[in-house]
Structure formats: structure tokens, C-alpha cells
Structure 1
């Protein structure tokens, strides 16, 4: 039972830590950050199982993490109002070819990062972008400008 309680505590600590890191960090990690996450995984394992290296202890820890992951998934499914708090919300970062600096600052993103993602999406100029939206998973969705007017909400906060 001790392993289940420690695994539950570590799940919530890890969940809060990842939410605090923000969308940008999850979507674009450097090699060093990947290594840090691997080391964190080992430290979490030591904190959960302590000196219990048994198959039962490992199974209990894994099942506890999976259980809480499923609970959060069901909570967002059954109570859509919780989705924003648990998973985050998309945020408009470019509107009609102009960067929304306040929204970039909220997610600690730079113009260079947005331009890099634009190039990966095959977009050469910022003026070619009608909308760019930072998704909760850390990816950026681009909507190209066309000759007509784009009908989208005109807010600079979260989308949705």
C-alpha cells in the first residue's frame, strides 16, 4: 500500500510540474532536456519504490500511474469543463500575419521559434499566415491566408 500512496503522490507532483513547464517545453525539447527527463524518471522510480525492487512493487507503481492517467482521461471526457484545467487550451499566437507578443510571452516562445515552425510547415513569410495557434500538446497549427477574409474569433486569448 505504501508504494501506491507514493506513486499517487509522485503522479500528482509530476503532473503539476509538466503543467507548469508549459506547452512550448513539451513540444520542443533540446537533447539536454530529454536527458533531464530520463534522469527524472529514474529519480521518480527511486522515490516510489524506495528499496523495493520486486516485480510486485514495480507493477503496483505502474498500475497506479496508469490508473491516475485513466481517471484524468475520464474526467476530461465526462466533465468537459475540466478539460482546459487538466489539458490546457490552445492559444492564438499569430493573427492576420502579426505576432501576438503577449501570447508568445505567456508560453515563453520567441519569434525565431515560430518562424522555424512556419518553415517546417512550408510557409515562407509571416504575412502568409492568417492564424497560428499553439495547441495544448505544444505543436503549432498554421492557417494560411487566402484571397478572401478569414472568419475566426478576434481574441488574443485561448481559442475555444
Structure 2
């Protein structure tokens, strides 16, 4: 049981040395890759962001993973994200294969139940988004979209 609380200074010292080095290296890798890498514009970008965070945590806390191995994994993730987003910009068919598109949930003040079921969105969630945009109810919305990043976008009726 004592090992669960404290198992020596070696692990603490490793973390104190590896964490700053990994952090600085990640910042450099992200700066080289551009702003898009952590943009969270859609589910794919969100997943990459989570994977980068998980990999950084593993580099810092795992005594079996060397700094160089971890940095190689981080660079590979960022590189793959760069390749996929570049291909998405270049080839529309590739973009459609890896990214979802926005889904219309309300049209001209009317809920679209089939789309809501498919996207697992309730009318309460839609009404909350409409209220946040300044409307009072579904009848005040020209359209409500579930965006690719999971947010609800409201276009109010004029």
C-alpha cells in the first residue's frame, strides 16, 4: 500500500525533468503545424486534440515511455492531422469521407423530428439555443443547425 502513495523520488524527478521538455517540444510542434491543429472545428479535430493531450500525459507520467518516443508520437499525430486537413481542403470527396456536415433541425419555425432523432437532440436543447440567441421559442427560428463541432447554430426569423 505505501507504493500507492509514494514510491520514491525517482518518479517525481523524472516528471519534473520530462514535463517541461515535453511541454516546450509540443508547443514548438504545434507552432510549426499552424493554428488549425487545435481548432476543434469538427469531431475529427476534437479527437486529434484529445489524442495529443493523452499522448502528452503518457509522455509525462509513463516511466516506460522515453521522451523521444513520446515526442515522435506527438509529431506523428500532428503530422497526420496536417495531412488529413490538407487533403480535405484539396479533395472534396476526402473532406466528405472524414468530416460530418451540419444537420438542419428546425426549418421556418418547425422542428424536424426525424433529424432530431437521428442526431439525438431534444426539443428542449433546441429551445435553449434559440433563447440564447435572443428568441423566445421555435417559432422565432428560421433555421437551427447542429454544426459539425456539436454546437447549435440559430438563424432567427426576421
* Shorter-chain TM-score tier: 0.5 to 0.7
Q: Determine the C-alpha separation between the residues in 1 that align with 2:97 and 2:123.
A: 27
Q: TM-score, normalised by structure 2?
A: 0.60
Which residues of 2 match residues 104-119 of structure 1 at below 5 A? Answer: 104-119=116-131
Structure 2, gaps ≥5 residues long: 1-42
The C-alpha deviation readout for 1:90-114, integer Å capped at 9, x for no partner, is 1110001111011111111111111
Partner of 2:133: 121
**TM-score scaled by length of structure 1:** 0.59
| Greater length-normalized contact order (CA 8 Å, ≥ 6 residues apart) | 1
Instruction: Report what 2:54 is aligned to.
Output: 41
In 1: Cα distance, 2:111 partner to 2:103 partner: 12
1:137 matched residue in structure 2: 149
Determine which structure has more spread, i.e. the larger CA radius of gyration: 2
Aligned residues: 109
1:142 partner SS = strand
**2:113 equivalent to 1:101:** yes
2: CA distance, partners of 1:110 / 1:75? 35
**Structure 1 residue 145 displacement after superposition:** 1.2
8 Å contact kept, 2:129–2:154:
no
Unpaired stretches in structure 1, ≥5 consecutive residues: 1-17, 20-25, 27-36, 147-160
Instruction: Tell me which residue corresponds to 2:27.
Output: none
3-state DSSP class of the match of 2:135?
A: coil
Once the two structures are superposed, what CA deviation does each residue of 1:109-160 show, in whole Å capped at 9, x if it has no partner?
A: 11111111112111111101111111111112211112xxxxxxxxxxxxxx
Q: Over the residues paired in the alignment, what is the CA RMSD in angstroms?
A: 2.8
> 2: distance between equivalents of 1:117 and 1:144?
11
Counting only pairs closer than 5 Å after superposition, residues 48-59 of structure 1 correspond to structure 2 as: 52-59=64-71
Query: In the alignment, is the contact (CA less than 8 A) between 2:110 and 2:139 conserved in 1?
Result: yes
Structure number with the higher helix fraction is 2
Moved over 4 A (4+): none
Instruction: Name the CA distance, whole Å, in 1 between partners of 2:137 and 2:74.
Output: 46
Residue from 87, 101, 104 that aligns with 1:75: 87
